[in-house]
Every structure is written in C-alpha cells, then in structure tokens.
Structure 1
Amino acid sequence: MGLYKRKRSPYYWITYKVDGKRVYESTGTKNKKLAEKIYAKVIIDIEEGRFFQTESRRRTFEELRDRYMAEFAIPNKAPRTIEKDRNTFKPLSTFFEGYTLAKITPQAIAEYKQYRRTQGIKVSTLAKELELLRAALNVAVREWEWMDTSPFLKVRIEQPKNSIYRWLTTDEEALIVLECADWVKEIVIFALNTGMRQDEILSLKWQDVNLGRKTLIVVKSKNGEQRTLPLNQAAMGVLQSKGKVRHISGLVFPSQAGTKINPGNLRRGFNAARGKAGIDHVRFHDLRHTFATRLVQRGVDLYVVKELLGHKSIKMTMRYAHHYPESLRHGVDVLDESGDTMVTLAQKRATALP
C-alpha cells in the first residue's frame, strides 16, 4: 500500500504514480483511517480518469530548487552568494524532499520552523532559509506560473531582534553617485527618491508612469499588491530624461539590448561605484532604507512611509521609528496649543482670588 509515515513528519504520507511519474505527498492528517480514505480516493480518481494535476500538484520542491538555482541564482549572483544559496537549500531539501508545491502550505512551513528550532539554529539562520524559499516560490508564481499564490502571503518570517540595516549619509550618497556609470547613476538616483525595490525598478514600464500627474504604479510588488507612488522632482528628472528615447520593449530602464537589466549586472555596477567611493558594507537595497530613514528624520508620519514602501504591516516600518526623535516633537507640541488656553484661564482665576 502507498501509505507510510516519515520520521520528521507527524502526518501520514501517500505515494502513487500518475502519468508515469512517482508522486509523494502528505495527507495532512495524523488519523490513519482518514489517510487511508484520502489515498483510496486518489487511486480511484486516477483509475477513473478524474484525477487532474495542476502545475502545483505536479511540480516538486526539487524542481523548484534546481530551476531557481539554474535560472536565477547562478546567472545573477556572485559565486560566494551562489554557494551560500546551495548551503541554505540543504536543510530545506532535507525537510521538503518529495513535496509537491501544492503541499508547501503555511502549515507545512510552520512545521519546518518547528523542525529547525528543535535543532537549535539561530533566528537569523532560519530567516535566511525561509527568505530563500520565499524567493524561489515567488518566481514560481510570477515567472513560471507553477502556483497561483505563494504560501508566504500568510507566513511571517521572524527576524532577530538585533537586526540592523545600513543607510547612506548625504556625503556617502554624493560620493557613490559621482562614481556611478551613467546607466547605474540614473537607477541609483531613482531608487533614493522613490524607495522602490530593485526588481520593481527594473520591471517598471512606461505604461505604468503618468508624467502629467507625477505618479507611477508599482505593478510587480513583493507583497503582491499594486501601489501608486507620487514622484518628487529628482525622480521626475530621471524619467523625463529617459523618456526622450523610449525603447519598444516599454521598459523604463532597459538594457542595451532592450531587455530587462540583469540584476547581477546592476549589482556589479553599483558595487564598482561603491568601491571607488571607498564606502564599505552597502548594498543596493540599502538605498531603500536610506529613502525611508530620511523621510522619518524629516518628520514624515510612519503610516505614510509604510504606504510609500509598500509594507504589508506597520511592524516592518517601525524599524525606522527610532530615527531623529525630534520628528516626534510635533506630537506633544499639539498639547501646548490647547494647554496654553487652560493655563491662561487658570492664571486669571488665581489672580482674581482675594
């Protein structure tokens, strides 16, 4: 019988063949009788031709891992990062081996979290593993159409409490921009003034830009939701310059061949400028942190910052709350406006007393 238990899983698993391919999947239940019924139904559906496999039921974790490494990691990442990804995939492979993508559910991910915690790993290590799995699944949704939605829309990745991020001073920004090649410079300036993620910028098309209203729509957002961004003068300047000659592809920032710029090429271009400027430990993503940090330092409300960044939860935005406490002063100064009247009235009453 194709019903069995796995050491690391509390659930019963089933295995069967469909279209000549061996499939292994969890029943999602600890009840043996229920698991037997699930298995029996699958077998009957296969025999009667009523078993239809969607891409998510047909594709496996191993296929996801291998294609992600081949098409995204190896062409776009540095050798050291590629090796890190390979190592990060190892514990994921140990747990999710044999899973179809349909079985990588929020519940399965929660089980993986518990499985790794019992091994005593650091919060930061678990976060990196889950972030890599999320990245691969996002590609499976957006690029390959292997899934309709990512399970990570309902999964929270806990970050270490002492996690830090880097942001640029105005002097550092000027030095990096000065050393950038022209095509990198315009992307860097645009990132610093919109807070958009790298992929959002590289995927931006003219059809989503409204120069008249000074806005753009972020279509390919990380959290799966569109957002509209207002554009300041610096961002508008970049778009007006780029708009003089538009490529047939419709991309705002196309490569010389007219295709989407390879993220690895942008990273190398940015790192080259950073190196020439003598500035260490700065990633392209830190331009987004710089955008958010400066807004908060200038007293912009955290909810506004959240909307501009496209954060799904205000908790993500709260990491910037400690910047420039003076920006919070207006909140308490409001009390003075009403308090002055109360104090004045009290003083008058005190003066009137015999």
Structure 2
Amino acid sequence: NGRKIQKSLETSDKKLAQAIEAKIRTEIVEGKYYERLTGQCKTFKDMMDKFMKEYAPTVSLNTQEGYKYYLKNLNRFFGNPGLMSITPKIVAKYKLYRRDYGASPSSVNRELYMLSKAFNLAVKEWEWLKDNPVSRVQKEREDNEVSRWLTEDEERRLLGKSPDWLCEIIVFALNTGLRQDELLSLEWNRVNLLRKTILIQKTKNNKPNTLPLNSIALNVLMRKYEGKVRSLKNDLVFISQTGTKIGKRNLIRAFAQALDKAEIKDFTFHCLRHTFATRLAQNGVDIYKIAKLLNHKDLKNTQRYSHHCPESLMVGVQILEKFDYNPTTMAQNDG
C-alpha cells in the first residue's frame, strides 16, 4: 500500500538483524506482516536482569536474597534463549528438573512465583510479550503439615555439639520462634529487659511485632548484656567474634556442622521455628496465640500446627461444663 515501515530491531547482532529484516520483508510481500511486541529480540537474561535491577529493590532484603538464590537455579536450566521461545511446556520441564535435584515442592513454587512475576512485568508493564507462560503451569502441591521438629533428646545433642555463640542463637530461636534474618538483625535498642519484650521491626510481612520473652530467652539476653558482649561497630545482639554481623552463610555452615556431629538428619535452621510453634501447640496454646507469636498474617499458615493441639480442643469443650445440667436431676426437680 506504499506505507513506509520503520522499525528498530533492538539487537546489536548483525546477522540476527538481517535475518529478522528478511523475514519481515517476506511477510510484507505475502500480506502477513503485523507489528510485533518489543520483546521479539529480548532474551531470558534481558528479562531477569531488568527484574533484578528494577523490581527486586522494591521488596525486603530477605526476599532479595531469595531472588538471588532462585535466579541461579533458573539460569542453570534456562540459559539465555529468546524470551518468546519459552513455552508452558518448557516451564513444566523446569519443575521436573528441580524435582530431580531434590528441591522441595515449596522451593519449586517460590522459584516459579519469581519467574511468573518477571513474566507478568514483561507482559503488563514492559509490553515485551502477550502472555505469561508460567500462568498456565500447575504449581507443585505442598504438604503444609509440619512433620519435622526437634525432640528433647535431639536438642540436648545439638547444643552439646555447638559452639557457645551458636548455642545462644539456637536456644533463643527455640524460645522466640524468630526467623533467621530476624535473629541476626536484632538490635539492643529493640530489647526491653525490664518489660521482657523485644520489638521485631523488619518482619516477613513488613509489620512490626512486639514479642514477650520467657525466662530462658531472657536469660540469654541478660548473660550477653551483663557480660558486655557488645560491639562498638554496631548495636546487634548476636555478633561474630570480630564484633561484626554474623553472615547467613556462616550461621548455616556452623549449624550444618553441629547437626552432622549430633547425627541429626533432615533438619534445617528454619525447623527451629517449627519446633517453637509445635511445642506451643502440643502444650495446649491455641492457634490464634501461636499465629500472633509467629507474626503470621494469614491464619492458614498457622493451621499446619493444629493437629498438635488436641488438648486445647478438650480445654475448649470443658469450658462449657460450667453450664452443667443433668437431665435426670432436672426431671426430679420438675416433679
């Protein structure tokens, strides 16, 4: 129709640009040409780089650390293909790939969530694509029931094989339920020894939470405070021997070594949090209190511990006993 078409191919690869140009010319002649989305020449790396540069900084530091780890797994499988070549079938193969590597269903789902978020941005905001291939892939089924927590015997063995600094962290975690990053970032200005509370400012759901301290957790802090085990470099409660913040990798490495020496299998640092909640449930603490202590935004996350607290159900129905009535006695009174 004589209309001039001018289009940037957005690639520095001369051969690729020439191939795309030739294809466009052919489609114009055949009457099949239509405007492409700008992601035609974009690669998987282009999308993930933009995601990490522009979106990742808007989430919590803990989530950013997770993204870095997930990205390594994604890159290992996907490489750097053209973005439009990634189909639901390929994403489904990624699930199988991660499963073969022993990744848990929850880990696979977190990686798929990150990938889906990146594709959604590419579709809705960057206008690179028309569809998100991850949205058509079924997520892994997760078993939310907690099946691993520390027994009393395992706790004794673990503490017996841990250095003093790690013992303090383990005991504090078992008695507060704090997440790893919450423990490592806890500062003295968030500790109130008089009121026996701590304020957790940076939480997973970005909601500050004031937690009570039992005598065991309080004793850990009192010993550290009275022993002046504090650093001039920062205000952190738990610090390294050099007075700096304990790195996550160093903590996990030391924890793994202690587990190995104590011959404890299938246990992670996060299981200390599960142990805290499970012990509460087993001793009759109701789910709502456990949810508050864990700072769970959604009660569904806490219900995984509900099978541990039949005693609390008994307490619930026993409350009604104050309304006791005996049908036989009532009949006699009526007579």
SS of the residue corresponding to residue 288 of structure 2 reads helix
Amino acid at match of 1:208: R
Name the residue aligned to 2:50. Answer: 60
Cα–Cα, structure 1 residues 2 and 294, in superposed 2: closer, same or farther, change >3 Å?
farther
Amino acid at match of 2:235: G
Cα–Cα, structure 1 residues 65 and 97, in superposed 2: closer, same or farther, change >3 Å?
farther
> Percent identity over the alignment?
39
Which residue of 66, 73, 81 corresponds with 1:87? 73
For residues 178 and 195 of structure 2, what CA distance do their matches in structure 1 show? 18
| Structure (1/2) with the larger strand percentage | 1
Once the two structures are TM-superposed, the CA of residue 86 in structure 1 deviates from its matched residue by 2.9
Contact 2:146 2:274 in 1 (8 A): no
Which residue of 313, 320, 327 corresponds with 1:335? 320
For residues 302 and 93 of structure 1, what CA distance do their matches in structure 2 show? 44
Once the two structures are TM-superposed, the CA of residue 271 in structure 1 deviates from its matched residue by 1.8
Which residue of 230, 233, 244 corresponds with 2:215? 233
Name the residue aligned to 1:323. Answer: 308
Name the residue aligned to 1:347. Answer: 328
Amino acid at match of 1:237: N
Whose RCO is larger (CA < 8 A, sep 6+)? Answer: 2
Name the residue aligned to 2:107. Answer: 128
Residue 205 of structure 2 corresponds to residue 215 of structure 1: no
Amino acid at match of 1:283: T
Cα–Cα, structure 1 residues 119 and 256, in superposed 2: closer, same or farther, change >3 Å?
closer
Larger Rg: 2
Once the two structures are TM-superposed, the CA of residue 59 in structure 1 deviates from its matched residue by 6.1
Aligned length: 264
Name the residue aligned to 2:186. Answer: 204
For residues 217 and 274 of structure 2, what CA distance do their matches in structure 1 show? 17
Deviations 1:196-238 (A, max 9, x none): 0011000111111111111111112112211111111111111
Once the two structures are TM-superposed, the CA of residue 274 in structure 1 deviates from its matched residue by 1.6
Once the two structures are TM-superposed, the CA of residue 298 in structure 1 deviates from its matched residue by 0.9
TM-score by length of 2: 0.65
Once the two structures are TM-superposed, the CA of residue 349 in structure 1 deviates from its matched residue by 4.0
For residues 159 and 322 of structure 1, what CA distance do their matches in structure 2 show? 20
For residues 266 and 307 of structure 2, what CA distance do their matches in structure 1 show? 21
Cα–Cα, structure 1 residues 293 and 352, in superposed 2: closer, same or farther, change >3 Å?
closer
Once the two structures are TM-superposed, the CA of residue 135 in structure 1 deviates from its matched residue by 8.5
Once the two structures are TM-superposed, the CA of residue 87 in structure 1 deviates from its matched residue by 3.0
For residues 317 and 219 of structure 2, what CA distance do their matches in structure 1 show? 37
Name the residue aligned to 1:254. Answer: 239
Name the residue aligned to 1:173. Answer: 155
Once the two structures are TM-superposed, the CA of residue 275 in structure 1 deviates from its matched residue by 1.8
Q: Structure 2 unaligned runs (5+)? A: 1-6, 11-35, 116-138
Name the residue aligned to 2:280. Answer: 295
For residues 104 and 262 of structure 2, what CA distance do their matches in structure 1 show? 31
TM-score by length of 1: 0.62
Cα–Cα, structure 1 residues 3 and 228, in superposed 2: closer, same or farther, change >3 Å?
farther
